[in-house]
């Protein structure tokens, strides 16, 4: 099992490439950050610089050269898969002649045998990476009098795995090469200049017009032209997508961290997800689903496929869909579903939820669903991303770029879209329950704001709880996935061991852990299941476990049980997660920062997991 979360950047054009590459790498840093490197043309030859650690270390190393007259270059930020994070293993990698320079995201699965083959043919390797075989293979094919393009094509035909490459060749100073197979790569189309990045967020502020490469496509990019061919040498005609994101959205503004900024964006995120989608009489209009509306009317079963936080949003989706649409719904970890031997019934609809639209397991599971003839839908934030393109139809989140590695605003947005989708799919779109739901949904942004306005209360409680080593998160029904998400958030940014549990299951095991050193975060808003929650909390109290509760304003029952309570406004149960998750996101944020961690870039994690 491999994970890869590196970042690629490339530039060709009128500006000085080095500073563009460094800035691009900084915006991509959330994808991986154990080492970084750049290769640029300088006076007819290619210069390379690499360093271990965050991009700022590389920036320092190249500080004196930042204004070099170089108009083409590639850069990379690495998250190690093959070989320890050191300068030698950092990208770019080159061949024996220092002619061809390659940066790579992904894994080359047959690299060992190819490396041995090349070594037997006299090639000298410096690193432990799989990537290094690529420039050597191209070099080897070039020896057989092949031109660069043919040598590249021959290389692509013998490597196996997943990849996105950016390549420059000393003999072709006016061309930047880009290749994609399973790892995302996007070309930013400029005027007299073009950009390349593994993630469109790195292009914000540079250009709004982008081309997403498809699997098996090779792009030859000059400053004025982009030519794309497939592995059969046929020309393809790419679609130019317009990015909506702007620079301000990709900057921290007055916030200390992206995570905090993104939590505070919650009310706007709900509004953006609702914009243009609520019609008169509270009908929901989802333009992206119109083309498949007839098929959707016949849906007999729903499958939700996702990973991480998106999976937890999916679990809430199951409660929503079953309650509102009455359509049986199952949620699967995409990584499990792709290998499951599942019977497929006709009229099942598969819904992928993904912030990035690039998560490898989610993509693979959607491809599997398609192969079995299912209609596939996407709830995706990144416009034009692979999952957005490969699903039959879908709904965009319009949440703007999410930069913090731990997902916060995307979760809020996904829940909002799931509510809209549930109402859309319920055949009685106009019934009174849906009416109440949508009326209440419209009130959610203001209610969220009242929670955010009291973030200092959570900060104080974070101070009190920050030194515990363990946490149990409890919830029921709609708030059970919130408990899972709250525990995940805390783990991700504070490295505290935290378990999310359905409160009813607590007595079947987790209760054994409870002691005065093991606090419980109880999500217990006032609803028709809260009495059961309160009994569970009695059990914890009886065992001396500290309790921190999230409860509904005015609910006095909790005060005698909990050591600390954070009150939230009342709403109807299906909408509670939109409110209950906010204090949990804030708690994770404050505990993480108080423990001294960089919450925007938690260790070992990455934003977009593009390899299995």
Binding positions for ligand G6P, rule: CB under 6 A: 307-310, 354-356, 359, 362, 405-407, 605, 607-609
Q: Is 501 a catalytic residue?
A: no
Instruction: Name the CA radius of gyration of the chain, rounded.
Output: 25
Q: Is the Cβ–Cβ distance between 439 and 282 less than 8 Å?
A: yes
SS3 assignment, position 107: strand
Question: In the bound complex, what is the minimum distance in angstroms from residue 531's beta carbon to ligand G6P?
Answer: 33
> Are β-strands 100-108 and 161-169 bridged in parallel, bridged antiparallel, or unpaired?
antiparallel
**Between residues 359 and 571, which has the closer beta carbon with respect to ligand G6P?**
359
- Which listed residue (6, 261, 368, 601) is catalytic? 6
**Between residues 500 and 519, which has the closer beta carbon with respect to ligand G6P?**
500
Q: Is the Cβ–Cβ distance between 428 and 389 less than 8 Å?
A: no
**Between residues 39 and 305, which has the closer beta carbon with respect to ligand G6P?**
305
Question: In the bound complex, what is the minimum distance in angstroms from residue 585's beta carbon to ligand G6P?
Answer: 12
Q: Is 607 a catalytic residue?
A: yes
- Which listed residue (115, 223, 368, 607) is catalytic? 607
How distant, in Å, are the alpha carbons of 15, 67, 224, 225, 520 from that of 192?
Answer: 10, 19, 5, 9, 58
Write the Ramachandran bin of 133: left for phi over 0, alpha for psi from -120 to 50, otherwise beta: alpha
Question: In the bound complex, what is the minimum distance in angstroms from residue 359's beta carbon to ligand G6P?
Answer: 3
**Between residues 99 and 409, which has the closer beta carbon with respect to ligand G6P?**
409
Question: In the bound complex, what is the minimum distance in angstroms from residue 392's beta carbon to ligand G6P?
Answer: 18
Which residue bears the tokens 């030698």? 88
Q: Alpha helix (H) ranges present in 171-303?
A: 258-264, 266-274, 293-297
Question: In the bound complex, what is the minimum distance in angstroms from residue 272's beta carbon to ligand G6P?
Answer: 17
Helix (H) or strand (E) holding 389: helix 386-390
Question: In the bound complex, what is the minimum distance in angstroms from residue 305's beta carbon to ligand G6P?
Answer: 10
Cis geometry, peptide bond prior to residue 149 (ω within 30 degrees of 0)? no
| Rounded-to-integer distance, Cα 52 and Cα 581, Å | 37
**Between residues 129 and 407, which has the closer beta carbon with respect to ligand G6P?**
407
What is the separation of C-alpha 14 from the centre of its chain, rounded to a whole number of angstroms?
32
How distant, in Å, are the alpha carbons of 355, 478, 489, 578 from that of 313?
Answer: 11, 10, 13, 10
**Between residues 394 and 525, which has the closer beta carbon with respect to ligand G6P?**
394
**Between residues 22 and 366, which has the closer beta carbon with respect to ligand G6P?**
366
Question: In the bound complex, what is the minimum distance in angstroms from residue 311's beta carbon to ligand G6P?
Answer: 7
3-state secondary structure 488-554: HHHHHHHCCEEEEEEHHHHHHCHHHHCCCCCCEEEEECCCCCHHHHHHHHHHHHHCCCCEEEEEECC
| Rounded-to-integer distance, Cα 287 and Cα 113, Å | 50
The token pair that represents 88 in the structure block: 């030698």
The token pair that represents 517 in the structure block: 């050193």
Question: In the bound complex, what is the minimum distance in angstroms from residue 580's beta carbon to ligand G6P?
Answer: 18
**Between residues 11 and 33, which has the closer beta carbon with respect to ligand G6P?**
33
Residue positions annotated with a catalytic role: 6, 607
């Amino acid at each position: 099992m491999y994970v890869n979360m590196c970042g690629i950047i490339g530039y060709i054009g009128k500006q000085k490439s080095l500073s563009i590459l460094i800035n691009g790498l900084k915006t991509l840093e959330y994808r991986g950050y154990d080492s970084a490197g750049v290769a640029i043309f300088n006076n007819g030859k290619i210069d390379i610089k690499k360093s271990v650690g965050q991009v700022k270390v590389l920036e320092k190393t190249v500080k004196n050269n930042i204004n070099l007259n170089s108009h083409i270059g590639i850069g990379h930020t690495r998250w190690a898969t093959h070989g320890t994070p050191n300068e030698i293993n950092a990208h770019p990698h080159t061949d024996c002649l220092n002619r061809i320079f390659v940066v790579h995201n992904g894994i080359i699965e047959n690299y060992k045998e190819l490396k041995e083959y090349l070594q037997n043919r006299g090639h000298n390797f410096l690193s432990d990476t799989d990537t290094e075989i690529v420039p050597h293979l191209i070099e080897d094919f070039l020896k057989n009098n092949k031109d660069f393009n043919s040598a590249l094509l021959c290389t692509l035909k013998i490597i196996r795995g997943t990849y996105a490459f950016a390549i420059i060749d000393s003999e072709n100073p006016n061309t930047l090469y880009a290749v994609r197979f399973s790892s995302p790569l996007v070309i930013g189309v400029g005027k007299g200049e073009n950009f390349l990045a593994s993630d469109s967020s790195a292009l914000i502020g540079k250009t709004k017009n982008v081309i997403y490469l498809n699997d098996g496509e090779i792009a030859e990019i000059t400053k004025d032209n982009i030519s794309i061919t497939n592995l059969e040498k046929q020309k393809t005609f790419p679609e130019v997508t317009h990015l909506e994101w702007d620079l301000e959205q990709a900057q921290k503004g007055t916030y200390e961290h992206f995570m905090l900024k993104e939590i505070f964006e919650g009310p706007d995120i709900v509004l953006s997800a609702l914009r243009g989608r609520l019609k008169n009489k509270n009908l929901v209009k989802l333009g992206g689903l119109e083309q498949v509306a007839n098929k959707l009317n016949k849906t007999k079963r729903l499958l939700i496929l996702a990973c991480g936080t998106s999976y937890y949003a999916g679990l809430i989706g199951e409660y929503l869909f079953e309650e509102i649409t009455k359509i049986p719904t199952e949620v699967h970890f995409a990584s499990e579903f792709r290998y499951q031997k599942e019977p497929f019934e006709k009229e099942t609809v598969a819904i992928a939820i993904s912030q990035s639209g690039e998560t490898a397991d989610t993509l693979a599971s959607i491809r599997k669903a398609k192969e079995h003839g299912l209609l596939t839908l996407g709830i995706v934030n990144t416009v034009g991303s692979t999952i957005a393109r490969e699903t039959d139809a879908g709904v965009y989140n319009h949440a703007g770029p999410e930069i913090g590695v731990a997902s916060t605003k995307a979760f809020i947005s996904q829940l909002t879209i799931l509510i809209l989708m549930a109402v859309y799919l319920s055949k009685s779109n106009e019934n009174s329950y849906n009416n109440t739901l949508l009326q209440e949904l419209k009130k959610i942004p203001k209610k969220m704001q009242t929670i955010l306005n009291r973030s200092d209360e959570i900060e104080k409680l974070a101070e009190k709880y920050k030194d515990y080593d363990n946490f149990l998160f409890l919830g029921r029904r709609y708030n059970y996935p919130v408990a899972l998400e709250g525990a995940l958030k805390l783990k991700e940014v504070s490295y505290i061991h935290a378990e999310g549990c359905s409160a009813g299951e607590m007595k079947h095991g987790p209760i054994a852990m409870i002691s005065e050193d093991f606090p419980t975060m109880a999500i217990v808003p006032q609803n028709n299941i809260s009495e059961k929650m309160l009994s569970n909390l009695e059990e914890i109290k009886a065992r001396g476990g500290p309790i921190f509760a999230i409860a509904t304003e005015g609910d006095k029952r909790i005060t005698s049980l909990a050591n600390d309570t954070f009150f939230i406004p009342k709403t109807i149960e299906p909408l509670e997660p939109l409110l209950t998750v906010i204090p949990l996101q804030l708690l994770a944020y404050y505990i993480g920062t108080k423990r001294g961690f960089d919450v925007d870039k938690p260790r070992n994690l990455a934003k977009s997991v593009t390899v299995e």
